[in-house]
Chains A and B, each alone.
Chain A
Amino acid sequence: MSRLSERLKLRYESIEDLPPTPLFKAGASVLFETPWHLYGKPKVDYSKCTKCRLCWLYCPDGVIKMAEEGPKVDYAHCKGCGICAEECPVKAITMVME
C-alpha cells in the first residue's frame, strides 16, 4: 500500500479534494515557492564574508545554506526579514529592494 503522505494532494481545487482536516506530507513547504521579500532580498558580498555562519544560524526560515564561497540564500523561500543583514558582524549582507 502506498504511503498516505504520498497520496495526499498538495493543492485543493474543490471541496471533494479536502481531507477532513488539512493534511500534507511532512516537509511539503519545499514544494511551494513562498518568496515575500518584505524588506528586500539579502545580497551577500563574498569579498567581505568571513564565513562565520551567524546568518545561517539566525535565519528564522532556514533558507541559508553554507557553500564554499559563503552563504547561499534560497530566494524562493526567503521572506526578506533582514535578520541576516542585521546580524552580519562585517556588514557583508545588504537588503536590496527590487
Chain B
Amino acid sequence: MKPWLVLLRPGDWLVMLAGLVAVGTSVPLLWRGGSADLAVVKRDGTVVAELPLTAPRKFDVVGPLGTTVIEVQPGRARVARDPSPRQYCVLQGWLTRPNSIAICAPNHVSLQLSGHEGGYDSLNY
C-alpha cells in the first residue's frame, strides 16, 4: 500500500474527495425514477378517480365482486383491500414509482401511478 500512497499529492486527495462527494450526491438524486404525484383508479378501463398523492385518504371502488379499497398516502398508494380470490394486487403493496400499476382483474379495478412526465414503458434501440 505504501509505495502507492506516495504517488498521491495533496491535491489528489482533494480531487478524489470531491469525486466521492459527487458520486454520493448523485445516488439519491437520480437513482429513483422520478416521483409519482397522481394515483389513477380505473374500473372496466374507465377512470373513476384521480387521487393526488399529497394527503392520505381512502377510496372505495365497487366492482362485480365487491368493494376494492384504494389507500393513498403522501408519495405512494396501494390496494388496501380487494375481494379478488388470489389477492395479487393487494400483495403488491405500496406503489411509489410513476407508471407502476396494480391490477385487480377479477374485480375489474386497476390502480396506476403517474408522474408529471409521461415517460415510456419501454425503449429499444
**Chains A and B are bound partners:** no
